[in-house]
Chain A
Amino acid sequence: MAWYVDRAARILVFIGGISAIVFIVGIFVFVTKEGLDFVIGPLNLGEFFTSIAWRPTSNNPTYGALALIVGTASVTGFAMLLSVPLSLGAALFIAEFATGKTRETLKILVEMLAAIPSVVWGFVGMSIMNPLIIQIFDVPVGLTVLNAGLILGLMAAPIMTTIAEDALKAVPDTYREAAEALGATRWEVIVKVVIPASKNGLLAAVLLGVGRGFGETMAVLMASGHAINLPTSPFDSVRALTATIAAELGDTVQGGNHYGSLFALGILLFVVTFVINLTADIVVRGIRKK
């Protein structure tokens, strides 16, 4: 009997283990299959990457994704400017300074922040940040790069904080002790020992945040203004790749050019996230070998 349980458990765990690979390959195959015909057929790649004219429903449709790419990049970049220092600071405080109850409370709060649904963040962006930005900066529209970047930064911060804190906690305490015994102050220990020793994990945290930024849809859709536009300042509205797919896919004919063009955006997103993750992996491995 016990033998059967053991065997069944082993199979179950094995299925769980390989399911991640199965799903990622499955998604890749699906997205590619749906988009590839369009990409190698009607799509003009030069236009796709250099034109800002995204008019898939026009009588004379054009598929320029530059504004969407720049939109996603500017919102994510803005979000990282905010969330990288914020979450690294929070992680340092939780891991290196806070003790006892403070530490536990902060950890729980950060985890709760991570659990807020993105549509709620989008709602915050639309109905709180929007009028605030209009009022404070005296601009006509508040649904902008600034708004979406702030919202996305706050969204990405909890997960980055958690991963960064894990990385800091993984630094053996003997390192801190050794440095302190040599006369290093708390701050010197952090700057000269803890951060260098955990840089791989911290980098992973940042890249995960970037990935989150690229992939986030609903909050960005709601807070960015969803206007096709090459931004010249944080007060311009933009449209993101993800938001475009979410907003338009329902109106397309399956297998049509518009449908295919949205899957082309999907392939682009997939490739970008894949490259980010791969780069992170290579960088981390490179550092480890050295």
Chain B
Amino acid sequence: MDSGRHDDFAIETRGLNLWYGDFQALYDVDLAVKRGIIASMIGPSGCGKTTLLRTCNRIIERLGYVRTTGSVNILGHNIFGDDVELVQVRKQIGMVFQRPNPLPISIRENVLFGFRLHEARLRKVTAAEEDEVLESALQQVLLWDTVKDRLDKPATGLSLEEQQKLCIARLLPVKPEVLLMDEPCSALDPAGTEAVEELIWRLRGDYTILIVTHNMAQARRASEECVFMLLGKIIEHGRTEELFLSPKHSKTADYIEGRYG
């Protein structure tokens, strides 16, 4: 019974506390995100949304002065477990950052970067297979037609919107099950935002997506569930339309109506 319940959730945190040095950024966070949905996290700056997101693939530990207690289960496995390999955690969980961050290599190499890392550990990959993976990933993010003639050009030459799509494309060949997105549209213009949001919708179902956003309209448009955070705590978590139409908590209502934030 217990394991069956775990299986329903792609991301499940239990009593998660996190400190940056002496500063506590997350308080007792219990979050459960069902498989295959898009969940958005909203809240004012500094409320811990990005921290929580970055804890889910343990990229937060790069800082070196971070301490956590509690557990984070991804697909039923505690990522803080002793037997866990960080490389495998990162393989299952893809991440899209606030500013598009393609690597300073060609478009082709960017898309194949993660694929080569993980597949080359196991076996020999043929060039034909790479071409197939490359095309399929770029097709999925609707970038193939734009870039197919300049695959060997540097990825940094693309527009920000294209770069962000590329950053999503390079996750797909690794076959992650969870995608973490940290304000993926905040560096983009309205047209770019729309295009990337549309793309995120297309990925729904195949991946569980947890997306941090500053933009409430985006949360409303682009997610099925919504999490409202304040000062390191989860205040409310529910279906997006319910949270926006009839928030249970007065602080949620205040935030949604723009009284602070």
Residues of A within 8 A of B (CB): 99, 174-185, 188, 192-193, 196-197, 290
Inter-chain contacts of A185 with B (CB < 8 A) = 87
**Distance between Cα atoms of A193 and B116 in the complex (Å):** 13
B 68-101 to A, binary, CB cutoff 8 A, 1 in contact else 0: 0000000000000000000110110011010101
B95 touching A175, Cβ below 8 Å: no
- Of B40-48, B57-65, B221-229, the one with at least 4 CB within 8 A of chain A: B57-65
Number of interface residues of B (CB under 8 A): 26
Contacts of A197 in B (CB 8 A): 103-104
Q: Which residue of A lies closest to B59 (CB)?
A: A181
Assuming the contacts A99-B64, A188-B117, A197-B104, asked whether A181 and B99 have C-beta atoms less than 8 A apart, the reply is no
Interface contact A184-B59, CB-CB below 8 Å: no
Given A182-B117, A183-B118, A188-B117: A193 touches B103 (CB 8 Å cut-off): yes
Write the chain A residue with the least CB distance to B90: A183
Q: Cβ of B117: which chain A residues have Cβ within 8 Å of it?
A: 182-184, 188, 192
Q: Which residue on B lies nearest to A178, using beta carbons?
A: B101
Q: Does residue B26 face the partner (Cβ distance < 8 Å to A)?
A: no
Contacting pair A181 B90 (CB below 8 A): yes
| A193 to B110 Cα, complex, angstroms | 11
Residues 22-42 of B, flagged 1 when their CB comes within 8 A of A and 0 if not, give: 000000000000000000000
- Interface contact B87-A175, CB-CB below 8 Å: no
* Complexed CA–CA distance, A184 and B85 (Å): 12
Interface residues in B116-130 by Cβ distance below 8 A to A read 117-118
Interface-central residue, B64, B88, B117, B174, by most chain A CB under 10 Å:
B117
Contact call A192/B113, Cβ cutoff below 8 A: yes
Is the Cβ of B103 less than 8 Å from the Cβ of A183? no
Q: Tell me the complex Cα distance, A99–B62, Å.
A: 12
B114 on the A face (CB < 8 A): yes
Does B170 reach chain A (CB closer than 8 Å)? yes
In the assembly, what is the distance between CA of A183 and CA of B57, in Å? 10
Question: What is the bound-complex CA distance between A175 and B118, given in angstroms?
Answer: 18
Q: Is the CB of B101 within 8 A of A175?
A: yes
Contact A177 B114 (CB under 8 A): no
Judging by beta carbons under 8 Å apart, are B174 and A183 in contact? yes
Show 23 A/B contacts (Cβ-Cβ < 8 Å), sorted by A: A99-B64, A174-B99, A175-B101, A175-B103, A177-B62, A177-B101, A178-B102, A179-B113, A180-B59, A180-B90, A181-B90, A181-B95, A182-B170, A182-B171, A182-B174, A183-B87, A185-B87, A188-B117, A192-B113, A192-B117, A196-B104, A197-B103, A290-B154
Q: Which of A175, A178, A182, A192 has the most CB of B within 10 A?
A: A182
Q: What per-residue 1/0 map shows which CB atoms of B206-230 lie under 8 Å from chain A? A: 0000000000000000000000000
Q: Which 9 A-B pairs have the closest CB atoms?
A: A183-B90, A182-B114, A181-B95, A174-B101, A178-B101, A183-B91, A183-B87, A197-B104, A181-B59
Find out whether the CB atom of B97 lies under 8 angstroms from the CB atom of A174: yes
B91 contact set on A, CB distance < 8 A: 183
Bound together, the chains give a CA A183 to CA B115 distance in angstroms of 10
The answer for the CA separation of A290 and B174 in the assembled complex, in Å, is: 28
**A32–B47 CA distance with the chains assembled, in angstroms:** 68
CA distance A110 to B75 in the complex (A): 48
CB distance from A178 to the nearest CB of B (A): 4
B209 to chain A, nearest CB (A): 15
